[in-house]
Amino acid sequence: VKNGFPEAVPYESVKGKDNYNPESIRKNLMFGTPGEIIEKLEDYEAAGVDQYCLGLTFNLPFELQKKTIRLFVDEVMPHFATRDRTRAVAVGH
């Protein structure tokens, strides 16, 4: 961490550690298509999580950050929007 922001870790320094295995990282972090992200968030939802904070400043170029947030807003959030309204009605809000 430098100035409050995480820095890229050279793969050679974490090579062989299970939690830094590229497949494990891809499976457990929010990487993938909008459909894959929806599936991952549904796993969290099934575990009782009802809020998610999307972080995009981890060494991504600004243009890629913009593209990512646009995909998240346009393709992922609408999938969960009806759930929010359904829950609000269920609890009387």
Q: Is residue 23 part of a domain?
A: yes
pLDDT at 42 over 80: yes
Confirm whether 17 is domain-assigned.
Answer: yes
Q: How confident is the model at residue 75 (pLDDT cuts 50, 70, 90)?
A: very high
Residue 3 included in any domain? no
Place 46 in a pLDDT band, splitting at 50, 70 and 90: very high
Q: Is the pLDDT of residue 80 over 80?
A: yes
Q: What is the pLDDT of residue 70?
A: 95
Closest Cα partner for 71 from 38, 22, 45? 38
pLDDT band at 71 (very low <50, low <70, confident <90, very high): very high
| Parent domain of 35 | 11-90
Number of domains in the chain: 1
Spatial separation of the C-alpha atoms in residues 82 and 79, rounded to whole Å: 7
Q: Within a domain: residue 56?
A: yes
> 38 with 32: CB under 8 angstroms?
no
